[in-house]
Structure formats: structure tokens, C-alpha cells
Amino acid sequence: MGGLSEGYNLNRRDVVASLLENRSNLLVVTGLGSPSYDVMAAGDNDNNFYLWGAMGSAAMVGLGIAEAQPDKSVVVITGDGEMLMGFGSLATIALRKPHNLSIVVLNNGHYGETGMQLSHAGYGVKLADVADACGFPHVQTIQDQAGVKTLADSLCAGECLQFADIRIKPENLPRVLPPRDGVYVKNRFRHALGFAPN
């Protein structure tokens, strides 16, 4: 098998900052590890639902929130390793077709949380092709900042289920840790949605 192909050039922190720059009331679910640090680095927000574990589950958590909050736009920001573990979720999400859900994969072709080994995506598995085969109505692979900007403009619209594979540089950046208390994160998120803590 070959190694990482070209085109993994974007800075992950710049990408996430651009995606969330004009977020308004966008609900954000993060995959574990670096995506959570990236979202936190872009600015903590009560509408952020950080996942510290549950590898492979970020997309399904996003689906649940999108279906429970159909009038709000939801974005899942996760990594290629976490998405690879949760491939089955793409089939379920495509069948449900929530109009207000975006799945955004920060794809550096590596397993960043376990030592930066090449991931299946790094060996050539095309995440966007999998989403397309599952039936996502809008799928794209993004390799430049202009594409990131176009995606950012669509996130809050909540008009169409979409999947974006964003090619980022394989690098370990300083960690910006979000709150680690799961009950606190859950209750803060519920409060932001108008629900009482439980």
C-alpha cells in the first residue's frame, strides 16, 4: 500500500476558526481528541458539545441532536480516524436525511491520538466516496481555504444534509482543552437549548 498522497496542506486551526467565525446559533458536536481542541481554540461556546470518548459515535450524536432540534443547524467536526470507526453511521444518517446536519471531517490521513500512524484514509480510503455511496445528497472534498469559506457559509443555513472531507496538514498542535466534566458539558448544552439540567 502507498503512503499519504498530496493535498493535505490546510492548517486545522485556521480551518476550524473559519468554519465557526460566523456561527450564530450553530450547534457543534466534536469528535474526540484534536477536533475538540480545535473547536475550543476557536472559542468556547455553550452550543459546543465536546465528546471526550465514544470513538466512532460523533456522527450519531450529531444525528440525534439534529433530529431533536430540527429548527437548528448542527455540525459534527471530527477526524478521519474517528470517522473510520463510525462508517456505519453514514449509512444510517443518509437514510434519515436530516436537512440540518453537516458532517465535517478534518482529514490528516493519520491517527493523531495514538501516535500519528497512517490511517486508512492516509492509505487512500476516500471518505467522501463512502458518504456518497451511502446516499448523502451533498458531498465534497476540500483542499483549499476558498472551499472552507464556501462550506462555512452553508453550515448555518441548514438546508441540506452534507458531508465534507477537509484535507489538513498532519501535525500535532498544542492542546487547547475544553471542559472535561461530561455532566457540566451536557447540562450547559441543554441549558443553551432551553432545557433544565437533569
pTM confidence score: 0.94
Q: What percent of the chain has pLDDT over 90?
A: 81
Distances from the Cα of 49 to the Cα of 4, 70, 76, angstroms: 31, 17, 9
Q: How many CA atoms lie within 13 A of 105 on its CB side?
A: 33
Averaged pLDDT for residues 6-31: 95
Three-class secondary structure assignment of the chain: CCCCCCCCCECHHHHHHHHHCCCCCCEEEECCCHHHHHHHHCCCCCCEEECCCCCCCHHHHHHHHHHHCCCCCEEEEEEHHHHHHCHHHHHHHHHHCCCCEEEEEEECCEECCCCCEECCCCCCCCHHHHHHHHCCCEEEEECCHHHHHHHHHHHCCCCCCEEEEEEECCCCCCCCCCCCCHHHHHHHHHHHCCCCCC
Residue spans per domain, the chain: 12-192
Grid cell at residue 195:
432545557
Rounded Cα distance, 23 and 112, in Å: 26
CA distance 88 to 79: 15
Average pLDDT value for residue range 175-195: 95
Q: Do residues 128 and 80 lie in contact, with contact meaning Cβ atoms separated by under 8 Å?
A: no
Q: What is the mean pLDDT of the chain?
A: 93
The CATH homologous superfamily to which domain 12-192 belongs is Thiamin diphosphate (ThDP)-binding fold, Pyr/PP domains (3.40.50.970)
Q: Residue 1 above 60 pLDDT?
A: no
- pLDDT tens-digit readout, 55-114: 899 999 999 999 999 999 999 999 999 999 999 999 999 999 999 999 999 999 987 777
